[in-house]
Amino acid sequence: MDPIGTFGASPYAVRDLQLFRDADDPAVTAALAPCTVLRVAAGQRVEDGLRARLYIVLSGTLEVAPDAHSGNEDTGVTHVLPGESVGEQAVLDDAVNLAAMTALEDCELLVIEPELVWQLIDRSNVLARNLLRLLSFRVRAANAQLRRRQKLGEFYRQLSLNDGLTGLYNRAWLNEMLPKLAARAGQDGSPLSVIMIDLDHFKRFNDTHGHIAGDAALSAAANIIRESLRPSDFAVRYGGEELMAVLPDTQTGLAEMVAQRLAERLRTAIVFPDMRLPLPHITGSFGVASLPLGGTEHELVAAADAALYRAKQAGRDRVSI
Share above pLDDT 70 across residues of the chain, in percent, rounded to a whole number: 92
- Residue tagged active-site, from 63, 88, 108, 241: 241
At 158, the pLDDT band (50, 70, 90 cuts) reads low
Instruction: Compute the mean pLDDT over every residue in the chain, rounded to the nearest whole number.
Output: 87
Active site residue 115: no
Specify the pLDDT at position 67. Answer: 58
How far is the C-alpha of 297 from the C-alpha of 295, rounded, in Å? 7
Q: Which of 139-153, 160-174, 240-254 has the highest mean pLDDT?
A: 240-254
Is pLDDT at 178 greater than 90 in this prediction?
A: yes
174 CB-side CA count, 13 A: 22
pLDDT band at residue 209 under the 50/70/90 scheme: confident
Continuous segment of H or E residues that includes residue 142: helix 125-160
What is the per-residue pLDDT for 50? 62
Q: Which of 61-75, 144-158, 169-183, 267-281 has the lowest mean pLDDT?
A: 61-75
Residue 66 has pLDDT above 90, yes or no: no
Q: 299 Cβ partners below 8 Å, 6+ apart? A: 291, 292
On the question of pLDDT at 148 being above 50, the answer is yes
- What's the pLDDT at 319? 97
Q: Tell me which residue of 71, 83, 88 sits closest to 138, measured CA to CA.
A: 88
Reading phi first (left if > 0) and then psi (alpha if -120 to 50, else beta), residue 6 is in beta
Domains of the chain (ranges; CATH) run 2-151 (2.60.120.10), 171-320 (3.30.70.270)
Average pLDDT value for residue range 53-66:
89
Determine phi and psi for 176, rounding to 5 degrees: -85, -40
Judge whether residue 68 has pLDDT over 50.
no
